[in-house]
Amino acid sequence: MFETIQGEASYTGTPSIFLRLQGCPVGCSWCDTKQTWDVDNVYKVSLDETVEKKADSDHWAQASAANILALFQSRGYTAKHVVITGGEPCMYDLNPVCNLLHENGFSTQIETSGTFEILAPAQTWVTVSPKINMRGGFEVLTTAMQRANEIKHPVAMQKHVEELEELFVKTGVNPKLVYLQPISQKESATKLAIKTCIAKNWRLSIQVHKYLGIS
């Protein structure tokens, strides 16, 4: 857990508490949080230790919704927007933690690959970053696409744009908010994303936090 500024898609610039959940079988080749993939008891630590880490690691902690809220309060976090990410957060039922956070004045957002059923309250903002043809072999669910408040799609080459368009046809979903996000801030990917966004009236997500050099 950490407090920072959301750097992607619709909530860019919003002070946010990031709650990163452990575990992900999807297997994206460009993943920048591969330390979250495995839930290994060897790396289990206390909840307090998850906010003290100085670098990426495989360490994780088990916590209830009440534990999470209590830690937010004890840390003195002032942000009121909570981004639940991973890993793949939708491996878990997120209703308990989202409902408790809503009851205590927070808004919530989930960032998911769309490959697991989304178990969350209706008022939770859902960002689906559809992971198509990844190593784990998981399909992007039509129900996840239908639930999405926004689509945020990483792109590096034209085939990634084509895969997204094919997914829209396959699922019958035509989202109002579509963001393209250049993978690794590469110049060629950024140019492709800008060109495509202009042509299709989509939006650009540039991972502002990475350009600023913050978490």
Compute the average pLDDT of residues 165-171: 97
- 26-62 burial, b at 16+ Cβ within 10 Å, e below that, comes to bebeebeeebbbebeeeeeeebeebeeeeeeebbbbe
- For the stretch 121-131, pLDDT in tens is 999 999 999 99
Q: What is the CATH number of domain 2-212?
A: 3.20.20.70
Task: Say if residue 24 carries a ligand binding annotation.
Answer: yes
The whole-angstrom distance between residue 130's C-alpha and the CA centroid of its chain comes to 10
- Give per-residue pLDDT as tens, 107-160: 999 999 999 999 999 999 999 999 998 888 899 999 999 999 999 999 999 999
Question: Is 125 a known ligand-binding residue?
Answer: no
Confirm or deny that 96 is annotated as ligand binding: no
Q: How far apart are CA 123 and CA 139, in angstroms?
A: 25
What pLDDT score does 186 carry?
81
CA-to-CA separations, 32 to 7, 101, 126, in angstroms, rounded: 15, 27, 20
Residue 53: per-residue pLDDT: 63
Its pTM stands at 0.92
Domain chopping of the chain, boundaries: 2-212
7 is in an annotated binding site: yes
- 85 among the known binding-site residues? yes
129 is in an annotated binding site: yes
The 10s digit of each residue's pLDDT in 95-111 is 999 999 999 999 999 99
31 a known binding residue? yes
